[in-house]
Structure 1
Amino acid sequence: MTQRRDCPARRVRMSAHDPHPSHIKKAMSKHHGFRRLFATDQMTLGLVLPLETYAEGTTPTMQDHLDIVRHAEAIGIPGLWLLDIPFFDPSYGAAGQVFEPLTYMAALASVTTEIAIGTAGIVLPFREPHLFTKQVASVDLLSQGRCLIGLSMGHRVSEYSLFGIDYETRSSRLREIYRLYRILAEHDRPAFSSEVFGASPGGYDIVPNPPFGRTPMIGINGAGQDMAWVAREMEGIMMPVTDPDKLVDMVASWRRAIPDGSFKPISMVGFLNLEEDPDYPFRRDREGFHVGSRALARYMEQAREAGVNHFALNPRYTRRPMKELLEDLKTDVLPHFPALSVGD
C-alpha cells in the first residue's frame, strides 16, 4: 500500500480574515481521507458498515467485525462509512453498526492504516457543537487525517422527541450547529454568540486542531438543506443511488450549485443486493438495487463518465455471505476503481 505522510500534531489556526476558498483548497489537497476517495474524473468504491449481510432481522451480529474491516482494507477497499442511529426504533427496522459512529471510527482507525473512514451521516441537530468539534478533530488527528464527516438532518420524528428537540426546527438547528462548528474548529480563540449554544468573548480554544486545517464535511442527501448552501459550505455531497439515465442530470445539478466552479465531489450511496450472476443487470428496488459484480463495474463506469466520484455500497440486503461479496468486489470491481494514491 502507498506510504502515507505523517500528519502534523498541531497547526496554526486561520484568522477570521484568511481567504476562505484558498483555505479549503489547501486543506483538501493535504487531507489523506479526502485524497484517497476523491479526484476529478475518478471514481472510487466505499462500503457502509457493518460489513455484514443480514437481509432478515434488524440488528447485525458484529461478529469478527474488526477482522472483516482489516480484510476489506487489505483487498483495496478505499473507504468505509458509518451510520448514526442513536435509538433503535423497531418500526424502522435498522440498528446500523450498533456502535456510536465517532467512537467506532476511532476504533477502526486504530486497526487500519490507509482506509478513509467517514460518516453517512451524523445527525447534526442532535449534537452539542462544542463537544462535537472536539470529537471530530480528535478522531481526524488520531486517524492521521483519514476522517470524513457526512452530515444529515435525520428523519425520525420519534428521535427528536427523545432528545427534546422540536422537529420543525431541525433545518435551522443544523445550520446553527454547523456555523459554530466551523468557528470553533478553524479560528483562533474565537468570540461567538448563539441563542441556543452559549457565547464566548474570545480567548478560549478547543483542542486538538484538525490536522490539515479542515476536516472534510459531506452533505448526506443534501443534509436537508438547499443544494446551493451545501455547495457553498461543505466539501461535497452524497446522494441516493439513481438510475443510469439520471446520472448526468444529477451531477449537472450539483455542479451548477458550486459557486466558484471548484472541485467538490459528488458521491452516491445505496443498499446493494449483489447477485451471484456477475452480469445480472442493474435493477432498482425499494431497498436499493440488485446487480452482479461485473454489471456493477459497468454501472460505475457510467457514473464516472457522468462525473460521479464515489459510490458507497450498503451490503445489508445481499443474500450471500460477506466473504463472497468482498471476493466479487476484489475480482470484478476494484481493479477498475482502486483507491487513489495519497503520495508523499
Structure 2
Amino acid sequence: MSDYRNSTATSAASVFDKVFKPGELTFGLLTPLEGYPNSDTPTMRNHTALATLADDLGFAALWLRDVPFRDPAFGDVGQIYDPMVYAGWLAAATRYIAIGTAGIVLPLRDPLAVAKQALSVDQLTGGRFILGLSTGDRPSEYPAFGAEFENRSERFRDAHTLITAAVNQSFPVHQSKFYGTLDGSLDLVPKAKQARLKTVAVGRCGQDISWLADNMDGWIWHQSNIELLPTVIESWRAACGPQVFKPYGYGTFFELDRDPDAPLRVRHGIYGGRKALIELWKRQRDQGVSHVALNMRVSSRPVKETIEELGESVLPLFT
C-alpha cells in the first residue's frame, strides 16, 4: 500500500503537493472508471465501488471530465454526470484520494458559479479538490450555450482572473470584461481549506505556454510523442522559471495487458504489460513528468483487474 494512502485525512489540506511532487511521479484515473471501446456511453456500473478501490490502493487522484452533451460526431460522453455534482458524490465515498476536474470548460460556464462550486467541493472533501480548467474540444457545444467559439481564449483568461479574485481575496474589487463586477461589498464563501485554491490547466486552454506558466499552478496536457516529451517539459520549465516548481502531467488512453511481459505500444494511447510500462514511467519521471492520468475507455480488460494490478504491482514502485 502506497505512502499516499497512508496519509491522514487531516493532512489533506496540502493535497496538491501530494499529487504533484518534485522528482516524483503519481498516478490518477480519468472517469468513467470503465472500458467502453465499442460505445460512446459508459454503463457507470459499480463506479462508486471502483472509486473506493482506487482510493484504498493509493491512486493519487480521480479526474472528472466536463461533457455537457452527447455529440454522436465526437463519440464520447465521459462519465455522464456533471463533474461538480459527481465530485460531491465521490467525496462521500472516498477518504484520501484527490478529486479533480479535467477540466471544467470555463468559457461555457459562469465563472463565479464555478468558483462557488469549487470552494464548496473543496470544503466538503476536506481540501482534496483540485480545480482543472479547459476550453474544451467540442465546438458544437458553444452555440447551445449561446457562447462564441472564436473568442473562447480571451474569455478563458477573463474568467480565470475573476475566479482568482473571488476565491483568493476577501471582499474583492474586480472588473471583468465578459462577466460581472465585484465592487468590494460582497465576499464569496466558503473559502478554500488551503491558503489558496490552486488551478491546473488541462490542455492548452487556447493560451501560449508563458501565460499558463504565469497564471496556472500546473499543466496537464495530452500524451504527446514520447521522444519529444523532454523538449515539451524543458519549454514548460523555462516558462515557469528556474526557481519555481509547477508540475507537468499528461492524460492518455490506456490499456494494461494481462501479460506482464507484453511489449509497449504507443499510438492513440499507451498499451502494454506492466514491466514495459514501469520502465517507461520511470524514464518519464526522471524526465520531469509529475503525474499521469489514465483513461481506460479503450480497455477491453475489466477495469477492476487493471486498478488492482496497478495498485499492487506498479504504484508501490513510485512512492
Q: TM-score range by the shorter chain?
A: over 0.9
Equivalent residue number for residue 16 of structure 1:
none
Q: In the alignment, which residue of structure 1 is the partner of 2:8?
A: 4
* 2:36 matches 1:54: yes
Q: How far 1:324 sits from its partner (Å)?
A: 1.6
Distance 1:63 1:155 in 2: 27
Matching residue of 1:308: 289
* CA–CA separation in structure 2 for the residues paired with 1:282 and 1:246: 17
Most deviating of 298-307 and 320-329: 320-329
Q: Look up the match of 2:166.
A: 184
Shift in alpha-carbon separation, 1:77–1:200, aligned structure 2, 3 A: closer
Instruction: Give the C-alpha shift of residue 323 in structure 1.
Output: 1.8
Q: CA deviation at 1:337?
A: 2.0
1:89 aligns with 2:71: yes
Matched, 1:42 2:24: yes
Corresponding position of 1:241: 223
Equivalent residue for 2:298, pick from 288, 305, 317: 317
How much has 1:316 moved relative to structure 2? 0.9
Aligned to 2:263: 281
Structure 1 segments (4+ residues) deviating >4 Å: none
Q: TM-score, normalised by structure 2?
A: 0.94
CA distance in 2 between partners of 1:108 and 1:41 (Å): 29
Which residue of structure 1 lines up, in the alignment, with residue 275 of structure 2?
294
* Residue of structure 2 in register with 1:175 after alignment: 157
Identity rate, percent: 38
Paired AA for residue 304 in structure 1: R
Q: TM-score, normalised by structure 1?
A: 0.88
- 1:205 is aligned to 187
Deviation at 1:308, TM superposition (A): 0.6
Residue-by-residue CA offset, 1:59-89 (whole Å, 9 max, x unaligned) = 1111111111101111221211111001110
2:35, 2:299 within 8 Å by CA — same for their partners in 1?
yes
Deviation, structure 1 residue 326: 1.5
Question: Would the aligned equivalents of 1:273 and 1:290 in 2 still touch at CA under 8 Å?
Answer: yes
State the partner residue of 1:337. Answer: 318
Q: Residue 170 of structure 2 contacts residue 188 of structure 2 at CA under 8 Å; is this kept in 1?
A: no
Pairwise mapping of residues 251-270 of structure 1 onto structure 2 (< 5 A)? 251-259=233-241, 261-270=243-252
8 Å contact from structure 2 (residues 123, 192) kept in 1: yes
Matched, 1:107 2:111: no
CA contact (8 A) 1:297 1:332 kept: no
Given that residues 232 and 259 in structure 1 are in contact (C-alpha distance below 8 angstroms), is that contact kept between their aligned partners in structure 2? no
**Cα distance in 2 for residues equivalent to 1:240 and 1:157:** 18
In 1, the alpha carbon distance for the partners of 2:155 and 2:242 equals: 27
For 2:228, the aligned partner's letter is K
Helix, strand or coil at the partner of 1:335: helix
Determine the structure 2 residue equivalent to 1:194: 176
Please identify, of 189-198 and 168-177, the stretch whose mean Cα deviation from structure 2 is larger.
Answer: 189-198
Q: Give the distance between the partners of 2:7 and 2:281, measured in 1 at CA.
A: 27
The SS at the match of 1:160 is helix
Instruction: Please give the alpha-carbon distance, in whole angstroms, between the structure 2 residues aligned to 1:330 and 1:2.
Output: 14
| 1:133-172 superposed matches below 5 A | 133-172=115-154
Which consecutive residues of structure 1, in runs of 5 or more, have no partner in the other structure? Answer: 8-29, 339-344
Query: Equivalents in 2 of 1:81, 1:330: separation in Å?
Result: 17
Residue 321 of structure 1 aligns with an amino acid whose one-letter code is P
Matched with 2:211 is: 229
